[in-house]
């Protein structure tokens, strides 16, 4: 048993075969079309920060789904009977799939940059997400992601905490002198929170509450649907992803929310904004908005007024789940502009941004750290090249990844939250202490 | 029946039948798989995301400026031989006569001397493509029988065509027979391998472009 799967059931051939058949049967017309369309040009490698940093061909994005292409061709493609009859595509083995764990989890942030470069228009990242589902079914999700997903599915929290998150939220309110709306029976906006913020950036939680209070928005956090992250999404456990999303959906319905507000958390946005309704089985009876989108709308409507922020030369990291996979490009820029910030953009920004390196659960996978650091060097160089004094982002996982890099590389930049900057510059409001 | 008669008679008929049925089955085969409706609230109107699909068909023909430094030369090589190939297939007068006979329409061609120059350049580019595939570590790793056989059969069609035009190596009728026979083999292979990208490329770009536009993301 590999270290990665320690504590999990072995991945015997029968289980792997079942998972690969499941992949082939679940593949659907859209993914089949994507799998059929690849011409092996290898161009996707040139978009991937793992390949760019290492020049190692195994990190070519489309190669990361090679066993799954093999399974599709053998089991479900139009000529599958011929492939099986003449033995042209062999069944995927447990050993083969175990080798691919490194490629699908440790060296892929599911950032989608490869999907932007493919001349055939293949959404490689979507295929990788499907491949992760099969890896999970085969018992090959990395232990860190598997265990957190299991815990979150069962308890609502990815990890046990010294005290329940709802108690920690109240403590944050007391500490920062802001009222935390919690468990109100009805509210227009339901808030949720990244556990990263609870544990590492409580000032962001306070900032969210403060901004909502300033705007006099009827809102609430809910104990029964509190955590924004979705480790089921990272681990590839589709049914767990569904259960975790359902917690938030049910809570939002219970409080009759019109909007479920996703905090500064990139993958939570993908999971809730672009995948939750499919798992729920019908359109959600409320809107899902990222906090920067919501605030940009308030700004445009004239309800949010911001004062000038003194940030000096400033740059911004676009979280890939928000901008490239989610289309949230203009909202953060509108907020920064309203605070008088003239942005010094990164060389690759907006939809072309490089991932921070921690996305897709990679930050949680301990053994992936050396490769992640190597991959991050290019990103850090881009940030340094702007000469910015202030470095902002709008995803707490990205922020944590950069904080980690600061320690590892003795890097002289500190990532700051855009939401906190907004909260600190509300026109007519006292500056938070 | 001589070689030429066989190649453009029964062999061509069988090859065309396999080509048509194979292509249809390859498309129908996966189109029949489940297609799930996206239930998530779109950011853009249906008109916007459909137009996003059309835009992607064109915009993916050339890399975004952020990528061009790394992929420009390779893509230029790829597009160049495709353009050469299309020029020879569609604008060489004997091809027009042959295809026009099948389709019932005619169109003007390019002078033979120009076609010869284009053919030589295209064959050279084709060799460069193969060289790149075997020397580039990423492409070499991704490549399988399909890639090499598809290259080989297309190269064979071009080489026999050039030989027939230049009367090199054998009687004209024999060379022409070999050329048409190689086209027959290409038609038979077409539905089974990567040559199918000729049918996939535009729908694939359009679908991805539309799905990204639905989210308001760039494509």
- Which whole number is the average pLDDT over A261-287? 97
Interface of A with B in 226-265 (CB under 8 A): none
Flag if A327 and B217 touch (Cβ within 8 Å): yes
- b/e burial code for range B101-125 (CB count within 10 A of at least 16 → b): eeeeeeeebbeeeebeebbeebbeb
Smallest CA–CA separation between A273 and chain B, in Å?
7
Flag if A32 and B36 touch (Cβ within 8 Å): no
* Pairing status of strand A287-290 against strand A259-262: parallel
Specify the pLDDT at position A10.
54
Specify the pLDDT at position B112.
92
Query: Which among A40, A76, A278 is the nearest to B142, CB-wise?
Result: A40
Q: For B111-122, what is each residue's pLDDT tens digit? A: 999 999 999 999
Which of A325, A270, A261 has the alpha carbon at shortest distance from A293?
Answer: A261
Cβ(A290)–Cβ(A273) under 8 Å? yes
Runs of H (alpha helix) within A301-416: 320-323, 330-338, 369-385, 396-409
Cβ(A229)–Cβ(A268) under 8 Å? yes
A414, containing H or E segment: none
Residue A55 CA, distance from chain mean position? 25
What's the Cα-to-Cα distance from A11 to each of A63, A97, A109, A144, A222, rounded to whole Å? 22, 9, 24, 17, 38
Radius of gyration of chain A (CA): 22
Residues of B in contact with A57 (CB under 8 A): 137-138, 140-141
Candidates B21, B204, B211: best to mutate against A (most CBs of A within 10 A) is B204
Q: For A226-265, what is each residue's pLDDT tens digit? A: 999 999 999 999 999 999 999 999 999 999 999 999 999 9
| Separation CA B129–CA B120 (nearest Å) | 14
| Residue B80: half-sphere exposure toward Cβ, Cα within 13 Å | 18
Specify the pLDDT at position A433.
63
Flag if B215 and A120 touch (Cβ within 8 Å): no
Q: For B165-217, what is each residue's pLDDT tens digit? A: 998 889 999 999 999 999 999 999 999 999 999 999 999 999 999 999 999 99
Flag if A36 and B203 touch (Cβ within 8 Å): no
Q: For B38-63, what is each residue's pLDDT tens digit? A: 999 999 889 998 999 999 999 999 99
Local confidence band at A12 (pLDDT 50, 70, 90 cut-offs): confident
Q: For A375-389, what is each residue's pLDDT tens digit? A: 999 999 999 999 999
B55: nearest CA partner in chain A: A121
Sign of CA dihedral B208, A125, A320, A388: negative
Flag if A40 and B56 touch (Cβ within 8 Å): no
- Which whole number is the average pLDDT over B66-85? 95
Cβ(A257)–Cβ(A212) under 8 Å? no
B202: nearest CA partner in chain A: A120
Q: For A90-138, what is each residue's pLDDT tens digit? A: 989 989 999 999 999 999 999 999 999 999 999 999 999 999 999 999 9
The pair of structure tokens assigned to A333 is 């820029």
Q: Could you give the 3-state DSSP secondary structure of residue B189?
A: helix
Find out if CATH 1.20.950 is the number for domain B3-34+45-215.
yes
Smallest CA–CA separation between A240 and chain B, in Å?
19
B102 vs A: CB within 8 A: no
Smallest CA–CA separation between B30 and chain A, in Å?
5
Q: Which residues contact residue A429 at a Cβ distance below 8 angstroms, ignoring those fewer than 6 apart?
A: A210, A214
A118 vs B: CB within 8 A: yes
Q: For A15-31, what is each residue's pLDDT tens digit? A: 888 888 888 877 889 99
B40: nearest CA partner in chain A: A277
Which of A6, A139, A4, A131 has the alpha carbon at shortest distance from A70?
Answer: A131
Local confidence band at B33 (pLDDT 50, 70, 90 cut-offs): confident
Smallest CA–CA separation between A33 and chain B, in Å?
7
| Separation CA B154–CA B213 (nearest Å) | 36
Local confidence band at A427 (pLDDT 50, 70, 90 cut-offs): confident
Q: For A58-76, what is each residue's pLDDT tens digit? A: 999 999 999 999 999 999 9
Statement: residue A11 has pLDDT above 60? no
Q: Tell me the domain boundaries of chain A.
A: 3-141, 153-300, 314-424
Interface of B with A in 176-205 (CB under 8 A): 192, 194, 196-197, 200-201, 203-205
Specify the pLDDT at position A3.
44
Interface of B with A in 122-151 (CB under 8 A): 136-144, 146-147
Find out if CATH 1.10.1060 is the number for domain A3-141.
yes
| Separation CA A381–CA A197 (nearest Å) | 26
Residues of B in contact with A52 (CB under 8 A): 70
Specify the pLDDT at position B198.
96
| Separation CA B57–CA A37 (nearest Å) | 14
A43 vs B: CB within 8 A: yes
Cβ(A186)–Cβ(A258) under 8 Å? no
Between these two residues, A148 and A20, which has the higher pLDDT value? A148
Which of B31, A54, A13, A70 has the alpha carbon at shortest distance from A62?
Answer: A70
- b/e burial code for range B185-197 (CB count within 10 A of at least 16 → b): bbbbbbbbbbbbb
Local confidence band at A78 (pLDDT 50, 70, 90 cut-offs): very high
Q: ipTM higher than 0.85?
A: yes
A345 vs B: CB within 8 A: no
| Separation CA B108–CA A89 (nearest Å) | 45
Specify the pLDDT at position A4.
45
Residues of A in contact with B206 (CB under 8 A): 121
Helices B112-135 & B145-166 angle (0-180, nearest 10): 150
Specify the pLDDT at position A6.
44
Statement: residue A9 has pLDDT above 70? no
Q: For A315-369, what is each residue's pLDDT tens digit? A: 999 999 999 999 999 999 999 999 999 999 999 999 999 999 999 999 999 999 9
A48: nearest CA partner in chain B: B67
Specify the pLDDT at position A269.
98
Specify the pLDDT at position A243.
98
Q: Which residues contact residue A103 at a Cβ distance below 8 angstroms, ignoring those fewer than 6 apart?
A: A58, A59, A63, A64
B218 vs A: CB within 8 A: yes
Q: Could you give the 3-state DSSP secondary structure of residue A227?
A: strand
Chain A to chain B Cβ contacts (< 8 Å): 163
Query: Which among B36, B41, B60 is the nearest to A28, CB-wise?
Result: B36
Cβ(B185)–Cβ(B203) under 8 Å? no
Residue with tokens 């090199």: B168
| Residue A390: half-sphere exposure toward Cβ, Cα within 13 Å | 16
A326 vs B: CB within 8 A: yes
Judged on CB neighbours under 10 Å (0-12, 13-18, 19+), A26 is middle
Flag if B33 and A32 touch (Cβ within 8 Å): yes
Please provide residue A193's backbone torsions phi and psi, each rounded to the nearest 5 degrees.
-140, 140
Residue with tokens 């911001």: A306
| Separation CA A102–CA A108 (nearest Å) | 9
Statement: residue A284 has pLDDT above 50? yes
Q: For B106-161, what is each residue's pLDDT tens digit? A: 999 999 999 999 999 999 999 999 999 999 999 999 999 999 999 999 999 999 99
Please provide residue A290's backbone torsions phi and psi, each rounded to the nearest 5 degrees.
-80, 150
Statement: residue A431 has pLDDT above 60? yes
Radius of gyration of chain B (CA): 20
| Separation CA A135–CA A129 (nearest Å) | 10
Averaged pLDDT score across all residues of chain A = 94
| Separation CA A350–CA A324 (nearest Å) | 7
């Amino acid at each position: 048993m590999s270290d990665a799967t320690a504590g999990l059931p072995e991945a015997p051939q029968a289980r792997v075969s079942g998972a690969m058949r499941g992949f082939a049967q679940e593949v659907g017309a859209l993914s089949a079309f994507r799998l059929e369309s690849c011409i092996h040009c290898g161009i996707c490698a040139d978009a991937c920060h793992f390949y760019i940093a290492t020049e190692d061909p195994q990190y070519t994005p489309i190669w990361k789904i090679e066993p799954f292409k093999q399974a599709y061709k053998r089991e479900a493609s139009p000529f599958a009977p011929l492939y099986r009859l003449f033995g042209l595509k062999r069944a995927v083995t447990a050993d083969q799939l175990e080798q691919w764990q490194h490629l699908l989890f440790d060296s892929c942030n599911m950032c989608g940059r490869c999907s932007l470069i493919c001349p055939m228009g293949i959404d490689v990242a979507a295929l990788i997400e499907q491949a992760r589902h099969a890896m999970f079914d085969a018992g090959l999700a990395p232990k860190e992601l598997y265990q957190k997903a299991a815990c979150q599915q069962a308890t609502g929290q990815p990890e046990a905490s010294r005290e329940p998150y709802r108690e920690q939220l109240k403590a944050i309110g007391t500490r920062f002198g802001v009222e935390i709306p919690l468990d109100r029976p009805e509210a227009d906006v339901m808030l949720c929170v990244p556990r990263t913020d609870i544990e590492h950036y409580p000032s962001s939680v306070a900032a969210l509450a403060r901004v909502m209070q300033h705007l006099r928005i009827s809102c609430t956090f809910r104990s029964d649907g509190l955590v924004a992250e979705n480790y089921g999404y990272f681990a590839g456990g589709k049914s767990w992803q569904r259960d975790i999303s359902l917690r938030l959906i049910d809570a939002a319905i219970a409080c009759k929310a019109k909007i479920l507000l996703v905090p500064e958390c990139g993958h939570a946005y993908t999971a809730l904004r672009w995948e939750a309704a499919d798992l729920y089985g019908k359109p959600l009876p409320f809107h899902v908005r990222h906090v920067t989108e919501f605030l940009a709308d308030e700004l445009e409507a004239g309800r949010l007024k911001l004062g000038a922020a003194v940030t000096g030369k400033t740059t911004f990291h676009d979280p890939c789940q928000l901008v490239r996979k989610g289309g949230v490009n203009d909202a953060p820029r509108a907020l920064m502009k309203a605070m008088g910030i003239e942005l010094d953009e990164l060389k690759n920004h907006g939809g072309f941004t490089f991932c921070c390196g921690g996305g897709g659960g990679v930050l949680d996978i301990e053994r992936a750290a050396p490769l992640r650091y190597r991959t991050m060097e290019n990103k850090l160089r881009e940030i340094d090249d702007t000469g910015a004094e202030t470095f902002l982002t709008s995803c707490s996982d990205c922020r944590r990844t950069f904080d980690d890099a600061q320690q590892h590389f003795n890097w002289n930049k500190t990532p700051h939250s855009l939401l906190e900057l907004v909260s600190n510059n509300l026109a007519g409001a006292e500056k938070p202490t | 029946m001589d070689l030429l008669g066989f190649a453009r008679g029964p062999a061509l008929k069988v090859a065309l039948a396999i080509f048509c049925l194979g292509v249809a089955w390859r498309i129908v085969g996966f189109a029949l798989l489940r297609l799930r409706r996206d239930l998530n609230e779109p950011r853009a109107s249906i008109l916007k995301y459909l137009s996003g699909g059309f835009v992607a068909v064109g915009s993916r023909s050339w890399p975004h400026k952020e990528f061009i430094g790394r992929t420009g030369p390779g893509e230029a090589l790829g597009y160049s031989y495709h353009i050469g190939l299309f020029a020879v297939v569609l604008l060489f007068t004997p091809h027009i006569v042959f295809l026009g006979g099948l389709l019932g329409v005619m169109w003007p061609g390019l002078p033979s001397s120009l076609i010869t120059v284009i053919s030589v350049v295209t064959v050279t580019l084709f060799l460069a493509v193969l060289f790149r595939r075997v020397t580039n570590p990423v492409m070499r790793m991704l490549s399988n029988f399909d890639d090499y056989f598809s290259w080989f059969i297309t190269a064979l069609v071009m080489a026999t065509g050039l030989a027939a035009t230049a009367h090199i190596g054998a009687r004209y009728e024999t060379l022409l027979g070999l050329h048409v026979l190689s086209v027959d083999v290409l038609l038979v292979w077409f539905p089974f391998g990567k040559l199918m990208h000729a049918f996939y490329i535009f729908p694939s770009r359009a679908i991805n472009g539309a799905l990204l536009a639905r989210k308001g993301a760039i494509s």
